[in-house]
Structure 1
């Protein structure tokens, strides 16, 4: 992605588009506004967009929510449970694509993760990373910061899918309301 093709700073990716509104809305079709669900690509917050009938919104579109485009009447924050089934099935793929596209941002997490308490490190919050794997990551990054997921995979024995581990944690943070610590998802 060249710099001119880069999405705007305050952006979200459309996960699902419901041209006839929510199925569980009992109003007649002509009274239900079209809706879309979107994921903020920076803070991983979820949004429901109420659209007018002329809105040109498709699944996969990037939208600048700091200045909603024409056709977006209202933006409200929602939780994972409020998403349509289509948005829920799409979200994992969108997160994986984001991690792939913004590799530097997510590799830097492995380079910059810090202790939370004397006994708990941010790396330990990632699925499958225990004390031994955490220490391997910390030792390797002291020698030289990681520059890519491939390098991370090559240098840290036992860490087989560094991208997938991050995607799993982001999904867990989106799905679970009662997590004590959040690494990626902004709390509402």
Structure 2
């Protein structure tokens, strides 16, 4: 699961050992499928599981590795119901495991246009709060979500704000601007 190979590491959201229910082929012809969420790029994948591969819910897999024979990008709507319900938990775990990566978003976010800043894409962050974040990071970069919470008045639960934006980007295919999900 290296990010050097284009972010092929993914978290398994659901495994369908007998393939999709809407596949009309006889059961013995269906291949097992797994739905997965990219750790680095937050892309959603449908993976055909290789014969003999031991892939289970919650596993970390390499979508270009030996466990998978075919991989294709899918939208949120294409996921199984179980996979959809697991996306939020998987995103929360990814953010927890690599907190500095997401704190750095607050430290490094830049203007997109003259009127729009990357920070304004985050839920609940308007002009005043954005300016406060930018002012505080100029003084000293943020070191953690707790540091952000303490230094920026009005920014409640900065981790949750990041998670909500990632989920919005995962669920909505037609967003004009994205900060986390690679198109």
Match of 1:69 in 2: 66
- Cα distance in 1 between the residues matched to 2:154 and 2:10: 34
Alpha-carbon separation, structure 1, partners of 2:21 and 2:159? 35
Q: How many residue pairs are counted as aligned between the two chains?
A: 179
Q: How does 1:38-117 map to 2 (within 5 A)?
A: 38-66=36-64, 68-70=65-67, 72-117=68-113
1:140 aligns with 2:136: yes
Query: In structure 2, how many angstroms separate the alpha carbons of the residues matched to 1:48 and 1:23?
Result: 14
Pairing 1:8–2:2 present: yes
Indicate whether 1:175 and 2:171 are aligned: yes
Instruction: Provide the C-alpha distance between the structure 2 equivalents of 1:125 and 1:135, rounded to a whole number of angstroms.
Output: 14
Q: Give, in whole Å, the separation in 2 of the partners of 1:112 and 1:73.
A: 37
Any runs of at least 4 consecutive aligned residues in structure 1 with deviations exceeding 4 A, and if so which? none
Match of residue 3 from structure 1: none
Other-structure match for 2:151: 155
How far is the alpha carbon of 1:53 from its aligned partner? 4.2
3-state SS of paired residue (1:153): helix
1:24-35 equivalences under 5 Å are 24-35=22-33
8 Å CA contact 1:40–1:46 kept in 2: the answer is: yes
Query: Which structure 1 residue ranges, 5 or more long, are not aligned?
Result: 1-6
Q: Secondary structure of 1:96's match? A: helix
For 1:84-139, what per-residue CA distance to the aligned partner results, in whole angstroms no more than 9, with x for missing partners? 11111111001011111101100000000000111110000001111111111111
RMSD: 1.2
Unaligned 5+ runs, structure 2: none
